[in-house]
A and B are shown apart, each in its own frame.
Chain A
Amino acid sequence: MSEKSSNLTRRKFMLAGSAAMASPLLLGAAGSLVGAKSAEAKMIVTNAQKGKGTSIYFIGHGCVGCQVCRTFCPAEAIHFGDTGNEIDQNKCEHCGTCYEECPICVVSQTEF
């Protein structure tokens, strides 16, 4: 629990002061994942438990589409989405490569 809250603080912090960014959106998405109420979220959690790690990764706002994550992703789970790269949660192996490699740190990590 403590880990989770520290992560949320970190994201909040990263977004603090940037009026330009859609922070409520990002935090909202994180909130619904953390809640793990929907069937989809449950599925993601199950996948995460099967995989290498227990964290869930998603690409937040601000992605510039440089494709580093897509190139390095061992599971080939990342593709171009509407506004940037997106992680396919069904394919994701939760290894954290994208989180570590993203040059501008827009990949978010949420612990469960």
Chain B
Amino acid sequence: MAIKMMDCDLVVLGAGGSGLVAGCRAFDLTGKKVVILEKAPKPAGCTYFASGMGESGPIKDSKWQKEAGVKVNEDPQDLSGQFFDWLVTATKGDAEKFFYVTKEGQGMFRAAGRISFPVDGGPNNVDRYKKYWDLPDQTIGPGRMGSWVVDHLSAYCKKKGIQILTSTRARRFITDEKNKVTAVLADTEDGELLVNCKACVVAAGGWGANKKLLRKYYPEKYTCGKFHSLCPPYLTGDCIQAAEEIGAHIDPTIRSLNFPGGFFGDGMMRHPWHTSLLRLTTGKCVVINLDGKRWKNEGSMGGGGGTDGYIGDQRCGVGIAIVDSDIVNEAASQKGGMGMMMPGESSRTTMKEDLEEEAAWDEAGASGNHTRKADSLVELALKMKVDPRALVDTIERYNKFCETGKDIDFGKSAQNLQKIQKPPFYAIFCNRWTQSSKGRNGICVNSEFQALNAKGETLPGMWAAGDGCTIFGGFIIGSQTQGVWNEEETAARTKLSRALVQAAAAASGKDTSGAGGQGASQGGMPPQGGMSGGAGGTGGAPGGGAPGAGGEGGRSGGMPMMMGGGAETNILEGKGSPCGGLGPAFLSGFCAGTFAAKYLAEL
């Protein structure tokens, strides 16, 4: 098969959040020919499922916030504000329908002055745009900020003639004698394609779906048993490996503390934070291992990560959630918002049926760890192949804690202690899960997002962004404390923001003082929509990070995640967010695109 050839100025690998942002931004600044290669049949990436800005902190210094009377910093405008203003301009006309600036007392988990979404109503955590309104599970699925950005930037690409070549897997970088990337070799559906380029941005994501690499990098966590993947299956780290071949340094430092490592049930209860399972597990259930023993405070089961009681430390990496009929009925009968989750009706009301159906599969002899159901604990233990004596002892001990209201083993709070006593009992099997790799073992980059080799020299013409680069390094795109930086980090972020303004000006050949497209109208204050569940907002500092962060930053990270339930959410306790979020992806893409544009303009 003959190799097809094409020429362009900038080739972007990966049409996810960071790739689209980088490509569109570079085109916007320079007008040069940009081609985006995407391995999957459509642009989406991890970004498509993510919701909030996550570890990069909230959007600051946006013009919208300024217009809404929030105090902003203009010299330099924070890079998140630069990004957002650019995004609004690029997707002209539609952002007003989706984003808005939170006012005092509006939105339960959002501090006043934050950019939030969407405007057209509903309780906060059901905030998807119209098309995905009816998804039954609030904890996963597209329709939030990530999807919005991907959809709109894809449309932008179409309008402006930026080619997105889907089903095209970049395989190798071709370099010249100075180690500068001159072309990318890719596989397409009909043969190989050679894309000649002057520069390239690697934004192809991490390796969260690559079990081989998971076992390699985290041998102690992924030893045996199965695990669920929350990553789109395309995230296998191809481009990271390709970059390594031409000398890029793969940074092994683990910077983000918690490797994602909660767990969730198999079968119908497989969903990570399936509201029903979450409800069962965070509140009232008892989680045991294959030895029939509890090993942690179930109240913190939401994430668990590396903080306490990681499921991978248990035998075969299996956890079993035990519930009785009272708990199931109670969970199924609850209406309206529950704690932070505010799940939709459907997933909860069908929970009992789901459990019953799955138990029926098991009765029918289906293979796999389906939910078990039995009228006595002993029978249940035998069905799940756990020592009955151990299970009965554990439950009896637990029930005593319920009577005294004090869990002396693992410190579960009194409100979540409820006896396991009413048959039938259910046992829901859970396994560990994995999600996007969040910059770990990614391509090492400098503060301009240029790829580095092991000696710390830049690889000419190559930038990296998103999950596939070390965005959680010292470059203040991400922070482990959800957007709260210390002095040193603040200085670095300010420097980066300033450098971005200058790079943008140099790239576009204009003296713009901030993000591209100053002149465009912002459409004034967006309408305020019917935010119903707003009373008692957290009212943190305008534009500030911490107080309200749990709500939208809490579940993102390439995939929605890490929403603890109820009052006992302690997954973030003292450890910083375990998730990445959209912010690092977008902002790194934005930076890489801008600096690459500057490079192209100066060629």
Give A residues with C-beta under 8 Å from B: 6, 9-10, 13-14, 16-21, 61-62, 64-68, 70-71, 79-84, 103-106
Alpha-carbon distance A18/B213, docked complex (angstroms): 11
B229 contacts which chain A residues (CB < 8 A)?
Answer: 62, 64
Q: Are B140 and A66 in contact (CB under 8 A)?
A: yes
Q: Are B210 and A105 in contact (CB under 8 A)?
A: no
The residue that B267 contacts in the complex, of A10, A16, A17, A82, with Cβ under 8 A, is A82
Alpha-carbon distance A14/B135, docked complex (angstroms): 27
B window 221-241: CB within 8 A of A: 228-234, 236, 238
Q: Are A67 and B209 in contact (CB under 8 A)?
A: no
Q: Are B232 and A62 in contact (CB under 8 A)?
A: yes
Q: Are B189 and A104 in contact (CB under 8 A)?
A: no
Alpha-carbon distance A95/B343, docked complex (angstroms): 30
The residue that A84 contacts in the complex, of B136, B187, B270, with Cβ under 8 A, is B270
Most buried by B among A9, A19, A20, A105: A20
The residue that A104 contacts in the complex, of B171, B233, B238, B266, with Cβ under 8 A, is B233
Alpha-carbon distance A79/B41, docked complex (angstroms): 24
Q: Are A66 and B233 in contact (CB under 8 A)?
A: no
Q: Are A13 and B187 in contact (CB under 8 A)?
A: yes
Q: Are B49 and A19 in contact (CB under 8 A)?
A: no
Q: Are A20 and B236 in contact (CB under 8 A)?
A: yes
The residue that B41 contacts in the complex, of A14, A16, A65, A84, with Cβ under 8 A, is A14
Q: Are A82 and B230 in contact (CB under 8 A)?
A: no
The residue that A19 contacts in the complex, of B142, B147, B210, with Cβ under 8 A, is B210
A81 contacts which chain B residues (CB < 8 A)?
Answer: 267
Chosen A-B contacts, 21 in total, with CB atoms closer than 8 Å, are A6-B189, A10-B167, A14-B234, A17-B236, A18-B210, A19-B212, A20-B209, A20-B210, A20-B213, A21-B236, A62-B209, A62-B233, A64-B49, A65-B271, A66-B142, A68-B132, A79-B268, A84-B270, A103-B44, A103-B48, A106-B233
Shortest Cβ-Cβ A-B pairs, 4 listed: A62-B233, A104-B232, A66-B141, A80-B268
The residue that B189 contacts in the complex, of A10, A17, A67, with Cβ under 8 A, is A10
Q: Say yes or no for B360: interface residue by CB 8 A criterion.
A: no
Q: Are B236 and A18 in contact (CB under 8 A)?
A: yes
Q: Are A104 and B48 in contact (CB under 8 A)?
A: yes
Q: Say yes or no for B407: interface residue by CB 8 A criterion.
A: no
Q: Are B137 and A16 in contact (CB under 8 A)?
A: no
How would you classify the secondary structure of chain A's contact residues: helix, strand, loop or mixed? loop
Residue of B nearest to A65 (CB): B271
Q: Are B41 and A71 in contact (CB under 8 A)?
A: no
Give B residues with C-beta under 8 Å from A: 39-42, 44, 48-49, 132, 134-137, 140-142, 147, 167, 169, 171, 187-189, 209-213, 228-234, 236, 238, 266-268, 270-271, 354, 366, 368, 370, 559
B267 contacts which chain A residues (CB < 8 A)?
Answer: 80-82
Q: Are B40 and A83 in contact (CB under 8 A)?
A: no
Residue of B nearest to A106 (CB): B233
A71 contacts which chain B residues (CB < 8 A)?
Answer: 132, 134-136
Q: Are A104 and B44 in contact (CB under 8 A)?
A: yes
A17 contacts which chain B residues (CB < 8 A)?
Answer: 169, 171, 187, 236, 238
Residue of B nearest to A61 (CB): B233
Alpha-carbon distance A105/B142, docked complex (angstroms): 13
Q: Are A64 and B232 in contact (CB under 8 A)?
A: yes
Task: Quote the shortest CB–CB distance from A73 to chain B (angstroms).
Answer: 12
Residue of A nearest to B41 (CB): A105
B236 contacts which chain A residues (CB < 8 A)?
Answer: 17-21
Alpha-carbon distance A64/B268, docked complex (angstroms): 12
Task: Quote the shortest CB–CB distance from A20 to chain B (angstroms).
Answer: 4
Alpha-carbon distance A80/B370, docked complex (angstroms): 12
B210 contacts which chain A residues (CB < 8 A)?
Answer: 18-20
Q: Are A64 and B187 in contact (CB under 8 A)?
A: no
What 6 additional pairs, Cβ within 8 angstroms, besides A13-B189, A17-B236, A17-B238? Answer: A13-B167, A13-B169, A18-B210, A18-B234, A82-B370, A84-B270
Q: Are A67 and B42 in contact (CB under 8 A)?
A: no
Q: Are B234 and A104 in contact (CB under 8 A)?
A: yes
Alpha-carbon distance A60/B137, docked complex (angstroms): 21
Asked if A68 meets B141 with Cβ closer than 8 Å, knowing A18-B233, A82-B266, A105-B41, the reply is yes
Q: Are A18 and B140 in contact (CB under 8 A)?
A: no
Residue of A nearest to B168 (CB): A13
B171 contacts which chain A residues (CB < 8 A)?
Answer: 17
Q: Are B231 and A64 in contact (CB under 8 A)?
A: yes
Alpha-carbon distance A66/B135, docked complex (angstroms): 8
Alpha-carbon distance A18/B204, docked complex (angstroms): 14
Alpha-carbon distance A13/B49, docked complex (angstroms): 24
B49 contacts which chain A residues (CB < 8 A)?
Answer: 64, 66, 103
Q: Are B354 and A80 in contact (CB under 8 A)?
A: yes
A68 contacts which chain B residues (CB < 8 A)?
Answer: 132, 135, 141-142
Task: Quote the shortest CB–CB distance from B135 to chain A (angstroms).
Answer: 5
Task: Quote the shortest CB–CB distance from A9 to chain B (angstroms).
Answer: 7
